[in-house]
C-alpha cells in the first residue's frame, strides 16, 4: 500500500511540473518548446473566436501549482479539470478525443488520491 501511495504522489508531482512547463512554454515566447506549447492548445477547435492562449496558460499554471502544493488541492484540481473539459466538449469547443483522454486521466488520478492517499 505504501508503494502505491509513493507512486501516485510521484505521478502527481510530475504532472504538476509538466503543467508548469506547458504553461510557461505558452506564455514565454523566447522559451517556447513546441511540444509543450502545442499539446494543450491543439485541443481547442476554433482558436479564432477567442484568443485563448494566455488564459489557457494561466489556467494550466494554476492547477500545476495546486498539484505541487498539496495532494488535497491536487484532488480538487483534477475534479475541476474533468468538469471544465466535459463542459467544453458538450458545447463543441474542445476536440472529443483529447478532451476525453484528459477527463478520464483526471478522474482516475482524483480517484487514486481519494482512495490511496
Q: Is there a contact between 107 and 78 (Cβ–Cβ < 8 Å)? A: yes
Q: Please tell me the total count of domains within the chain.
A: 1
Query: What range defines the domain where residue 49 resides?
Result: 2-116
Residue 83 has pLDDT above 90, yes or no: yes
CA distance to 7, 25, 27, 33, 73, per residue, from 103 (Å): 20, 22, 24, 24, 17
Supply 17's cell numbers: 511540473
Q: Say if residue 2's pLDDT is above 70.
A: no
Confidence band for 30, pLDDT divided at 50, 70 and 90: low
Rounded to the nearest 10°, the torsion over CA 22, 78, 108, 37 is -10
Mean pLDDT for the stretch of residues 52-70 = 88
pLDDT > 70 in the chain, percent: 86
pTM greater than the 0.85 cutoff: no
**Rounded to whole angstroms, how far apart are CA atoms 50 and 110?**
30
Q: What is the pLDDT of residues 85-114, one digit of tens each?
A: 999 999 998 899 999 999 999 999 999 999
Amino acid at each position: 500500500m505504501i508503494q502505491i501511495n509513493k507512486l501516485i504522489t510521484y505521478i502527481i508531482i510530475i504532472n504538476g511540473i509538466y503543467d508548469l512547463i506547458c504553461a510557461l512554454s505558452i506564455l514565454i515566447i523566447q522559451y517556447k518548446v513546441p511540444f509543450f506549447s502545442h499539446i494543450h492548445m491543439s485541443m481547442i477547435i476554433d482558436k479564432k473566436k477567442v484568443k485563448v492562449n494566455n488564459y489557457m496558460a494561466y489556467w494550466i499554471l494554476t492547477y500545476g501549482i495546486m498539484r505541487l502544493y498539496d495532494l488535497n488541492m491536487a484532488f480538487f484540481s483534477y475534479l475541476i479539470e474533468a468538469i471544465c473539459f466535459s463542459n467544453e466538449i458538450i458545447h463543441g469547443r474542445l476536440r472529443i478525443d483529447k478532451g476525453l483522454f484528459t477527463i478520464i486521466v483526471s478522474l482516475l488520478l482524483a480517484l487514486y488520491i481519494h482512495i490511496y492517499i
